[in-house]
Chain A
């Protein structure tokens, strides 16, 4: 049930029955879907000799009728329009159309109308409408993600588009797995409820024939939850490899763009971090920073050994061996320099922003008690000149999320200090966050202080001590997964849609977080899957968040929501 394998199977099937030289034409969304799962060299092996975007292709007038065109697009109205224009004056010999989601009948009719030359050979729906960044983690790269925060009355058509895109993505995941799930959602979130209900309508009413798969003993589970139930995880600084790279530099579709952080030679400006293609990354993506440093040093030592022996060519056999092993050597060299560059960059950023200091306080705010000590620590850091504005903002937010009820006076003091110190800080952002994701709005037990069992567990953990101060925090998702495994998820907090009901425990669970996932959470899921509990989890979200992205979404939502609140 790996997402990457599902997408690869779809692409293989698209290309295998078409012989001869091919052109693959994608749109801006499907290009992400295909790029994370399939490489250029693999496309070349399948005789696809040109890849183009559907919007740029219409500008060229050249006719290439010896090529067969394979289109893989999302079935949006703009794409259908572009296709119609293409079909009216075709450039290629044959046209094979594949759509990543359900086509409406009117769209098929429109296409058929424009196909006067009858160049279209097939029209198929291949449901790869999500970006499979890791085997058990997918994202939808929704452009205006901040819409999930706003109430429905603010901009109903945009919110409808958002929900439609999410529902399409979730449906595609289940079609790719050939399953129809029982659906549960987080009661306190309107948008989660809406998405859950619309997905149920699609799967059980509108397209019930398409989703009518062979029933397994226990149906799989789809759980739709809201990002605002755990605002803590995206705000924290990360110290495990994949999450840290995304937090400090930024990963998009498994690519890291280093151009913004400094000057690099051309072949290191953009690098690929994919667990499927890079075995060192696969082994180290969930390890913490200290261990990564050691492993990279070991990798560099190995490489240096090989490099030295390569320079030591004395006999003909040595020469022959060198020529044989050259491609491997070159690949290893590229890989080693990529990881060394990344770790160096991250160390530099950690040093500049004093993240060791900041993160220690963050983790204490997230995990341990002690309001007085926390207040002191945050005040000290706010007074510290070398802490950046965004880190100050995050600290105050973390304090506010935890201690919003305990001493309002001190909280106000922190707000004032923050406003006076940070020039770029938008006033009211922290209050906005509290309004959206404060303790009254949250369902889950974020700090482990609501439920006796959790309090006891925290005390036990405190007594035992932690291995690593910087990775103490465990996302709320971990507790959610545990409660699913034990079959103890409360109906009152996470109701079923309609009259669904689950007997026993599900074997396959897809958790969708509206508002975005984080790499820390996908790490939790991967570790859980590796622990052989008998249940396979898949995580998905509208985007992949880091603290910058999360704050941007909050700011954007606040900006849109503000006019309406001042009117009131």
Chain B
């Protein structure tokens, strides 16, 4: 695709114009004789050269201009962006720990589980905090600023939503694979089996123990297993709830791709329409205020007051002498 850069020509001309402007201003004070004479010739009566200062005001004002401070909410949005970046880094860590935990090992695997839990909690926490901060972003401000703020919100919300969906997906694949490993190729719970074997061993060894004892121990074991299962389920439910909550909040902010709301010209139109509407409402309010009965009443009352005053004065003049 062809393009053409006209910046060079533009700059050349701009510099030429600047150099024409500059000597006129700097020589107003100096002793550039011919230039001053020329100036006075050209503008004998006009005082158009009066406000010229001796120094070139260009660079300093330019600097002051371009160093305008952004509004406060930009800091918030930048923080959210940084958090999102952090969350991404932690997610890659999480993926690595998941992979390590899934590999068969001789150890307990408990510390891997801890790390996974800790990381997942951290990431969910970051996401929740960012989401809360994002909600706060829609505070008051000027009209045009609000458009920009809304768009910044939208873009960060999309990123957050994608991240949380990613986290969910990674979690579910990990759990699925973990489940597969535990069950083994027979689809039977190996752990259960092991414990079952153990119980049979115990059976053989301690078959002269009282039946109650044995049954109590078996009961306790199954209670333990159920307790663990329950905890796992609770965790999953908790994380699903958290992320569902985040998704629900964010989906209000995120644009549905491919719909009319995703069209640039539609968004420009709605801004124009709402600004127009606002103007119309203001005008209407102004008109009703002007036409208002209040104004009429007030004027009538004032007129009556003057009338009464005149009557009073007349009464004084005619009847008190």
Could you list which residues of chain A lie within 8 angstroms of chain B, going by C-beta atoms? Answer: 6, 9-10, 13, 21, 23, 26, 31-32, 34-35, 38-41, 43-45, 47, 49-53, 56, 60, 62-67, 90, 93-94, 102-103, 105, 108-109, 111-113, 115-127, 175-178, 210, 213, 253, 255, 267, 270-272, 274, 277-278, 316, 319-320, 323-324, 326-327, 330-331, 334-335
Contacts and interface: CB of A to CB of B under 8 A. Distances in A.
A111 B265 contact: no
A118 to B, nearest CB: 6
A567 B130 CA distance: 75
A274 B146 CA distance: 30
B145 interface: yes
Contacts of A13: 3
Contacts of B251: 326-327, 330
Interface string B67-86: 11111001000000000000
Nearest to B69: A66
A178 B10 contact: no
Interface in B83-134: none
B244 to A, nearest CB: 5
Interface in B241-297: 243-244, 247, 251, 255-268, 271-272, 275
Given A51-B264, A330-B251, 16 more contacts: A31-B264, A41-B158, A45-B155, A50-B151, A52-B268, A64-B148, A65-B67, A65-B68, A105-B9, A111-B10, A112-B11, A112-B17, A124-B7, A175-B2, A255-B265, A334-B256
B46 interface: no
Contacts of B10: 108, 111-112, 120, 123
A39 B6 contact: no
B257 A108 contact: no
B259 to A, nearest CB: 6
Contacts, number: 201
30 contacts: A10-B3, A35-B263, A35-B264, A40-B267, A41-B155, A41-B262, A44-B158, A49-B152, A51-B268, A53-B268, A56-B272, A62-B145, A63-B68, A64-B68, A64-B148, A66-B70, A115-B14, A116-B58, A118-B62, A121-B7, A124-B3, A253-B265, A270-B266, A272-B258, A272-B259, A323-B168, A323-B240, A324-B169, A327-B165, A334-B259
Identify which of A6, A64, A67, A213 gathers the most chain B CB atoms within 10 Å of its CB: A64
A109 B262 contact: no
Interface string B137-172: 000001011011001101100100100010011001
Contacts of A10: 1, 3
Interface in B36-88: 58, 61-62, 65-71, 74
Interface of B: 1-7, 9-11, 13-14, 17-18, 21, 58, 61-62, 65-71, 74, 142, 144-145, 147-148, 151-152, 154-155, 158, 161, 165, 168-169, 172, 233, 236-237, 240, 243-244, 247, 251, 255-268, 271-272, 275
A43 B264 contact: yes
A65 B151 contact: no
A105 B197 CA distance: 92
B6 A124 contact: yes
Contacts of A175: 1-2
Contact of B265 (A32, A121, A178): A32
Nearest to B156: A44
Identify which of B74, B240, B247 gathers the most chain A CB atoms within 10 Å of its CB: B240
A111 to B, nearest CB: 7
Given A49-B152, A118-B14, A331 B264 contact: no
A127 B2 contact: yes
Contacts of B21: 116
B264 A40 contact: yes
Contacts of B58: 116, 118
A121 to B, nearest CB: 8
A40 B260 CA distance: 10
Contacts of B272: 53, 56
Nearest to A325: B165
Given A39-B257, A103-B6, A320-B172, A60 B144 contact: yes
A123 B264 contact: no
Identify which of B9, B66, B145, B267 gathers the most chain A CB atoms within 10 Å of its CB: B66
Contact of B66 (A32, A65, A116, A124): A65
Contact of B240 (A53, A119, A316, A334): A316
A123 B13 CA distance: 12
B134 to A, nearest CB: 14
Contacts of B244: 323
Contacts of A38: 264
Nearest to B266: A270
B95 to A, nearest CB: 17
Contacts of B7: 121-124
Contacts of A124: 3-7
Given A63-B68, A272-B259, A331-B258, A39 B264 contact: yes
A113 B244 CA distance: 57
Identify which of A112, A121, A124, A316 gathers the most chain B CB atoms within 10 Å of its CB: A112
A253 B7 CA distance: 32
B173 to A, nearest CB: 11
A38 B262 CA distance: 9
